[in-house]
Amino acid sequence: MLLLGTQRINEQGHLEIGGCDAVELARQFGTPLYVLDEATFRQNMRDYRRAFDKRYPRNEIAYAGKALLCMAVARIVAQEGYDLDVASAGELYTALKAGFPPEKVVFHGNNKSLFELHMAVQHGVGRIVVDNLLELEMLERVAAEAGKQVSILIRVTPGIDPHTHRFIRTGQADTKFGLNIRNGYALEGVRRALALPHLRVKGIHCHVGSQLLDTEAQERAVKIMVDFMHTLRKQLNYIVEELNIGGGLGIRYIESHQPPTFEEYAERIVGVLTQQLERRNLPYPTLLQEPGRALVGEAGVTLYTIGAIKQVPIHQPPGTRTYVAVDGGMSDNPRPQLYDAVYTALVANKANQPADTVVTIAGKHCETDILIRNVAIAQPEPGDILAVPSTGAYNYAMSSNYNRFPRPAMVLVNAGHAEVIVERETLDDLLAHDRIPERLRSEQPVMERA
């Protein structure tokens, strides 16, 4: 059984998260329900930072808001003294409305709009990570109009293929992100940026991929980035002040996942970084990072109510498959379908009973939305509460209204208290943006006049 963070089995034999009985949470707030464990999220932020602080004091960490962002989350991130990585006007707006300090925001995107650049410059966003040459020109104009100097990082592509799902690799040579180091575009980008009067080039950025379960790709990226720092000094006489290596550290979705601990990760990354800097005789830059999943992923649990259960004969291998349907599915968690993501589950109201029944968990959408294949849980019955751990990152963030499902609520649990931080969408919320043109209101089609 995968019990993460503050999760435990209480005296009733129920799953408990943040001191709250999961069955009680489901009863009080309804299902599907996203539960965010505040203590685990905060502890992860502190542990991650401590692991780096003690090995490389010149470092700064941004939480990657794309993993999970709402105003309450932005407040927690602010209280923990983290920076915040945003990737759209919507994420930036959420941060600003939550009172997140704009100077601690890092703004990302491979195709930022003029609107987004204006918004970022107007609000005094701390760093803009420039992805391409068009953006460089646009941003120079926006900054000039605003009469401001804007601090930027140049996103570069180290040309590395990490071992992770192809949809979440970003640092390989064949990618839409950043400027390629190998073909000289990255060097050209920095050269041009240095000539622009309203941009202050603070350094370079890369991100190789997500859900990385070893440090190998990230170590290679660090080495390539330091080599590039060396090139920049040699070719342009430019010294990188800030080196941003993105995020990417993986988490435990199932028991067999064994990502490096924060300590192991920091040891390896800082080891390679300092070794390479010494080798190139380069001054130590500020190390910036942007972990998302590693901080918030294991802090999230989704609760569902079990409905229909079906036994279906199968031929390979011969036997029966038990389909257990829950009251959510791909609208609250599209990851199994998008990335073949794996999860485990437990019956929250039978957490102390043996997990001896192998079932397939299905969603309730009008297609085959399997959430989990062949998972062993306690004997399920309609009305049981199913808990799916490690759903803190990229679940609510990627949720949709497919089949016009209202999005679930999210509650923040801590020391036995639960507070709603995202309200459950109502059926009327689904209609809030619908409009019926007048001519469609009559019973018959209104014929167009010639």
Q: Which residues belong to the active site? A: 366
Decide if residue 394 touches ligand LLP (CB under 6 A).
yes
Task: Closer to ligand LLP by CB, 304 or 343: give it.
Answer: 343
State the angle between helix axes of 133-146 and 185-194 in degrees (0 to 180), rounded to the nearest 10.
Answer: 10
Decide if residue 294 touches ligand LLP (CB under 6 A).
yes
Decide if residue 247 touches ligand LLP (CB under 6 A).
yes
Q: What residues have CB less than 8 Å from 216, skipping those under 6 apart?
A: 162, 163
Decide if residue 347 touches ligand LLP (CB under 6 A).
no
Decide if residue 285 touches ligand LLP (CB under 6 A).
no
Phi, psi of 141 (to 5 degrees): -65, -45
Decide if residue 215 touches ligand LLP (CB under 6 A).
no
State how beta strands 20-21 and 150-157 pair.
unpaired
Read off the amino acid at residue 112: K
Q: Which of 175, 339, 373, 402 binds ligand LLP (CB under 6 A)?
A: 339
Decide if residue 300 touches ligand LLP (CB under 6 A).
no
Stretch touching ligand LLP by CB under 6 A, among 24-32, 61-69, 266-274, 379-387:
61-69
Q: Which of 198, 293, 364, 407 binds ligand LLP (CB under 6 A)?
A: 293
Count residues near ligand LLP (CB under 6 A). Answer: 23
SS3 readout for 34-76: EEEEHHHHHHHHHHHHHHHHCCCCCEEEEEECCCCCCHHHHHH
Task: Closer to ligand LLP by CB, 337 or 360: give it.
Answer: 337
Burial (0-12, 13-18, 19+ Cβ within 10 Å), 334: buried
Task: Closer to ligand LLP by CB, 177 or 304: give it.
Answer: 177
Stretch touching ligand LLP by CB under 6 A, among 60-68, 194-202, 310-318, 344-352:
60-68
Task: Closer to ligand LLP by CB, 323 or 402: give it.
Answer: 402
Task: Closer to ligand LLP by CB, 117 or 294: give it.
Answer: 294
d(CA 181, CA 204): 11
* Shortest spacing between CB 349 and ligand LLP, in angstroms: 28
Task: Closer to ligand LLP by CB, 83 or 85: give it.
Answer: 85
Task: Record the tokens describing residue 414, joined without a space.
Answer: 């801590």
CB 154 within 8 A of CB 204: yes
- The site map against ligand LLP for 82-121 (x = CB under 6 A) is ---x----------------------x-------------
Burial (0-12, 13-18, 19+ Cβ within 10 Å), 359: buried
CB 372 within 8 A of CB 384: no
Decide if residue 335 touches ligand LLP (CB under 6 A).
yes
Q: Which of 211, 215, 218, 391 binds ligand LLP (CB under 6 A)?
A: 211
Q: Is cis: bond before 158, omega within 30 of 0?
A: no
d(CA 280, CA 174): 28
* Shortest spacing between CB 168 and ligand LLP, in angstroms: 5
State the angle between helix axes of 216-236 and 262-280 in degrees (0 to 180), rounded to the nearest 10.
Answer: 30
Q: Which of 18, 32, 158, 246 binds ligand LLP (CB under 6 A)?
A: 246
- 154-173 residues near ligand LLP, rule: CB under 6 A: 168, 170
What is the chain's length? 450
Classified as helix, coil or strand, 272 is helix
CB 162 within 8 A of CB 217: yes
Stretch touching ligand LLP by CB under 6 A, among 13-21, 72-80, 243-251, 417-425:
243-251
Task: Closer to ligand LLP by CB, 59 or 305: give it.
Answer: 59
Binding site for ligand LLP (CB under 6 A): 64, 66-67, 85, 108, 168, 170, 207, 210-211, 246-248, 290-294, 335, 339, 393-394, 398
